[in-house]
Structure 1
Amino acid sequence: MNKNTKNRAFLKWAGGKYSLLEHILPHLPKSPKLIEPFFGAGSIALNAQYDNYQLNDINTDLVDLYKLVQHSSQHFVTALAPLFTPESNDSDFYYQRREEFNATDDAFRRALLFVYLNRHGYNGLCRYNRKGGFNVPFGRYVKPKMPSAEIAYFAERFAKAEFTNLDYVEVIKKAPDNSVIYCDPPYIPISKTASFTQYATSGFSLDAQEKLAQTVLDIVAKRPVTVIISNHDTPLSRRLYRGAKFNSFFARRLISQNPLNRKPVRELIAVFCNETK
């Protein structure tokens, strides 16, 4: 990462790591390959220097979009432009496009609409109902920015990256020796009223948190890899990530939807390392 410049993702993303780069990147060691089982919008990989990348997410819409951008970014940006006009920043237009997104099977059109909905929808959320329908409400922004430059940079940087749409356990278990694996799962809730995050169309439950932790413990015990996990700093996360080196800090990212009740929260970085040769 350039010391004076940070590269932004072209998607808005709840829980994105752009504002936390200075805390996370120093914990990612040199390696031939960076693997992200929970890629999301990609702020870490966009700012980390590796020769090879495997970028995985369980969200099929997200991965399909990235593959299209990877191979045809200029055409994609040209086709995206009509969705970023003053007329498109309208609630009726938004809900019509959301309905179209949920109905279409056209991969290219669906990818365009995904970017439109992401930049015009509420708070960078990516949320689906139980039937798999995208259901984020209109965001009411003054002038949503068309991320042309960010899309071009993404395509250039990840021209040779491997994008996958697999279960995180499979991705971690198949990681080659000497890889760095950065995991940014849906976070453990910190409030009494919060529930475990719904991720894609299925829930990321307490069992899933425990399964992730055990998968990481197993691979690090057997293989020369480094695994870094981000999560809320809670007694549960520290118990799950036993054996890791911990780094805790206050995040500028805020979790409450009510601006009057927003408070900084503690983030935890857990680093698991097996340097066996």
Structure 2
Amino acid sequence: MSSREDLKSRPPGPNRIINSVLKWAGGKQRQLQQILPLIPEGLRLIEPFVGGGSVFTNSDKHGSFLLADVNPDLIAMYQMLSVVPDIVIRRARRYFENNNTPSGYSNVRKEFNLQMLNGPERAAAFLFLNRHSYNGLMRYNLSGGFNTSFGHYKAPYFPEDEIIAFAQNAHNFVFMHSDFRKTISLAGEGDVVYCDPPYEPLPGQPMFGEYTPGGFNWQDQTDLVNACTTAHRRGAKIVISNSCAPAIDELYRHAGFTIHHIPRRQSISCNGGSRETTTDILGVLQ
């Protein structure tokens, strides 16, 4: 019996939101009730910035999925979870049980950055680092090394049920390590493209651009809109999330997007009690 078949004996309960395998800064888990109704039906859902994957994990409007990201470690983890989820679970559990200390975390991060691990082990290490790093930030230096500090959490959640739910549906998923330009160029009639790029900072706020070396600048924001409007002319439907920065609002309206506003609780803060609610833009082009 294959790994995926072994895991099918423990399906998720009916009619419930499936949480992401990852703890993801900027993830859409808390906004799904507002986002999912605005994503059109289609034959295939394409996500050029798949990230933590809350949207595709909970989609019931699409039969297949093309899921891409510029982070090769993220895509490699999803691919390993698709083919050998039981091995990743076993290895990740050992990390969770034995390495939740500053030195243990540092050792795993060092092995990860030195490329010392095979595919399933590296996927397990990525999952461990994500769940044990500060605020779940997946931050890289200019040399491509993962450099987020230890989070000092007493008992980080081990997402076994989420991995099992993911593995059940993995036959519908295609993962691709790709820039958004290439990914969106594959979209056409029958496709729905959901984009969740790095957000444009609000006036006076610093840019968070350490998810990958090089960041995500204004030229990338405009290139994204151009790629999406071109895909729309080929027949694709488009949805984009972003901040409510005035420049983004103007950019999306000028490109013909219908603008929706959805609330978001700030998720990056040293003091969880001080987190505030802000508003995001969701642009739709049908």
TM over 0.5, yes or no? yes
User: CA separation of 1:190/1:269 partners in 2, compared to 1, >3 Å: closer, same or farther?
Assistant: same
Residue matched to 1:272: 285
Q: 250-259 or 53-62, which moves further after superposition?
A: 250-259
Contact 1:255 1:263 in 2 (8 A): no
- Mapped partners of 1:253, 1:7: distance in 2: 21
Give the TM-score taking structure 2 as reference length. 0.89
Residue matched to 2:181: 169
Give the TM-score taking structure 1 as reference length. 0.92
Root-mean-square deviation over aligned CA pairs: 1.8
- Mapped partners of 2:189, 2:261: distance in 1: 28
C-alpha displacement of 1:190 = 1.2
2:239 corresponds to 1:239: no
- Mapped partners of 1:196, 1:90: distance in 2: 27
Contact 2:266 2:277 in 1 (8 A): yes
Residue matched to 1:42: 53
Partner amino acid, structure 2, of 1:169: R
C-alpha displacement of 1:19 = 0.2
Work out the number of aligned pairs and report it: 271
- Mapped partners of 1:196, 1:140: distance in 2: 22
- Mapped partners of 1:104, 1:164: distance in 2: 20
Contact 1:229 1:269 in 2 (8 A): yes
Residue matched to 2:172: 160
- Mapped partners of 1:142, 1:102: distance in 2: 24
- Mapped partners of 1:40, 1:12: distance in 2: 10
SS in 1 for 2:151: coil
- Mapped partners of 1:202, 1:107: distance in 2: 26
- Mapped partners of 2:31, 2:239: distance in 1: 14
- Mapped partners of 2:168, 2:15: distance in 1: 20
Structure 2's unaligned 5+ residue stretches are: 1-12
Which residues in structure 2 correspond to 1:20-99 (within 5 Å)? 20-49=31-60, 50-85=62-97, 87-99=98-110
Percent pairwise identity: 35
Residue 240 of structure 2, aligned match among 216, 221, 229? 229
2:196 corresponds to 1:178: no
C-alpha displacement of 1:20 = 0.2
Partner amino acid, structure 2, of 1:13: W
SS in 2 for 1:268: strand
Runs of 4+ in 1 over 6 A off after TM superposition: none
Structure 1's unaligned 5+ residue stretches are: none
